[in-house]
Structure 1
C-alpha cells in the first residue's frame, strides 16, 4: 500500500476532518457515558437533519446551519430532561423523529438537495468534504476541545454526582447546558466523515473500549481519544482503497478495538487481583489513594 492518497486534495481534507472527529467525539462522549446519556448523540443527529435540510433550502453551509439547529435542539433536550417529568420521554421522541422527518422533507424540497446528498450526511462521505467544511469543522472542534479539556474538573463533577456538585457551589444547570451544546457541536463536526446516524457510536464505543483497560478518568480520556483518532484515520484510509462507506468502516473498526481490548482486559484483571492479594496492605492503601487522586482530575 503506497501513500498516494496523501497527494489527493479531497483525501487531505478528509484526513484532517477525520483527526478532528477522532479527537472531539470521544472527548465529549466520555461525559455522556458518565452521565448515562450514551444515546444523546443519536438524538442530536436526528435533529441535525433539519439543519442540513435548511442549509440546502436556503443555499447556506449545511454545517453551520446544522450547528445552529442542533444547539437549539440540545438545549431543548436538556431543558426537557430537567423539567420534563413523566412526559419527558414523549417530548424527546417527538423532537428526535420530527427533526429527522423535517430534514428529509427539506432536503427533497430544496433545489440543490438530492438522495445522494441525504445519504452522504446520514452515513458520511469523503469526497464531499470541502474547504469551507474544513474551516467550520476546525472552529467547532476547537470549541469542543476547549470545553472538554478546560472544564474537565467541573464537567467530571456534575457527571458523577449532580447533587454533590451543586452543594460545592458549581453552576450545575449552566454546565449541563454546556455539555449538551458541546455534544451538539460535536455531532456537526463528525457528520461529514461518520454520518449523522453513526456519530453516536464514535462518541461512545472508544470510551467503552478505553474503560476496559483504564481505572482513572484521565487515563480513560486519553486512551479514548487515541482510539477515536486511530479508527477514524484507519477507516478513512480503508475507504480510499476499498471504496466502502466511511462511517460504517470507522464504527466497525471501533467495535473491533472494543472486542480486542475486552478480551485483553480479562487476564489483566486477574493479574491485578493476584498482585493485590500478595501486596502489603500499606502498598494497597497508598495505591488506592493515588488512583483516587487521579480520578478527581
Structure 2
C-alpha cells in the first residue's frame, strides 16, 4: 500500500478517488430519494457529447463535458416540469442523443475508439494535475452544497407540493440537483467512466439504506461507503492489474450485498411495530 504513494500518477489517482467517492453518493442520495436513479446514466451519455466536442474543438474535454451535461440536466428538468414529455421518454432521448452525438463528433475529430473508452470506462491513472484541480474544485462544490442545503433539497425530493407551499424555491432547487448531478458525472468520468458513474451515485446509497433509518444518516453513510469503495477500488485495481472503474463498481456491489445481509439480520432483532403496539394496549 505504501509503495503506491511513490508514484505521482497513483497519488493523483487516489486524490481524485477521494473527491469522486464523496461527491457521487452526496448528490446520488437526492436522486434516489427523488426516484431519478437513472438520471446519471442519461447525463453520462450527454457528457460524452461534451467530451467529443472538446476533442473536436481542442478545448479541455472535462470543461466542455461539464457545460454540455449541465445544459442537458437543465433541459431534462424543463421537460419534466412542463409535463409535456414524460420522464422516461426524456431520459431515453438523453441516452440515445448523447451517445450518438458523442460518437459522431469523435469521428469528426478523428479520434479512435480507445480515446472514447478512456472516458466511457475511466482512466484514473492518466489524471493530470490540471484535471485534478478541476475535479477537486467541482467535488468540493458538490459536497458543500449537498450538505449545506440538505434540508431544503430533501424537502424538494420528498414532497414538491408541500415544499412549494412552505416557501421553498422548488424549481430553483430542482434545477440545482440536476446540475450538481451533471457536474458529479463529469468529475467522475476519469475515475469510473461515464458508463459506470451512475453506479457510484446509486449503489452506495442503496447499501447505506440497508442499515440506516433516517435520511441524514443514509446521506452520510453513503458518502462514507462511496469514499471507501473508491479508494479500495483504486488500490485493488493496482494490485490485481484491472481497470479502476469496473473494480470500484464491483466492490460497491459487494459492499451492498454484505450490508443487505447485515440489515436483514438487524431487522429480525427489532420487534415488529404491530406487536409492540398490541403489547402496549394489553
TM bracket (short chain): over 0.9
What's the TM-score, normalizing by structure 1? Answer: 0.90
Rounded to whole Å, the distance in 1 between the matches of 2:56 and 2:148 is: 37
Rounded to whole Å, the distance in 2 between the matches of 1:224 and 1:38 is: 14
RMSD: 1.9
Rounded to whole Å, the distance in 2 between the matches of 1:135 and 1:269 is: 43
Is 78-87 or 123-132 further displaced after alignment? 78-87
What CA deviation, in whole Å up to 9, does each residue of 1:169-195 have, x standing for no partner? 111001100000000000011100000
Give yes or no for contact 2:39–2:91 (8 Å, CA) kept in 1. no
Is 154-163 or 91-100 further displaced after alignment? 91-100
Rounded to whole Å, the distance in 1 between the matches of 2:30 and 2:146 is: 9
Matched residue, 2:17? 18
Matched residue, 1:152? 150
Matched residue, 2:203? 205
Give yes or no for contact 2:27–2:146 (8 Å, CA) kept in 1. yes
Other structure's SS at 1:100 match = helix
What CA deviation, in whole Å up to 9, does each residue of 1:131-162 have, x standing for no partner? 11101101111111121011101000011100
Give yes or no for contact 2:22–2:224 (8 Å, CA) kept in 1. yes
Question: Residue 86 and residue 70 in structure 1: after superposition, are their counterparts in 2 closer, same or farther (change >3 A)?
Answer: closer
Give yes or no for contact 2:80–2:86 (8 Å, CA) kept in 1. no
Question: Residue 262 and residue 84 in structure 1: after superposition, are their counterparts in 2 closer, same or farther (change >3 A)?
Answer: same
Give yes or no for contact 2:153–2:173 (8 Å, CA) kept in 1. yes
Name stretches of at least 5 consecutive residues in structure 2 with no aligned partner. none
- Map 1:143-222 onto structure 2 (within 5 A): 143-222=141-220
Give yes or no for contact 1:47–1:98 (8 Å, CA) kept in 2. yes
- The list of structure 1 runs, each at least 4 consecutive aligned residues, that deviate by more than 4 angstroms after superposition, is 274-282
For residue 131 of structure 1, the aligned residue among 115, 129, 132 is 129
Matched residue, 1:106? 105
What's the TM-score, normalizing by structure 2? Answer: 0.94
Other structure's SS at 1:73 match = helix
Give yes or no for contact 1:34–1:159 (8 Å, CA) kept in 2. yes
What CA deviation, in whole Å up to 9, does each residue of 1:79-116 have, x standing for no partner? 111114355543442232111111122223225x3222
Matched residue, 2:270? 272
CA apart distance, 1:243:
1.6
1:255 and 2:257 equivalent?
Answer: no
Rounded to whole Å, the distance in 2 between the matches of 1:162 and 1:46 is: 27
Aligned length: 280
Rounded to whole Å, the distance in 2 between the matches of 1:18 and 1:276 is: 45
Rounded to whole Å, the distance in 2 between the matches of 1:68 and 1:52 is: 10
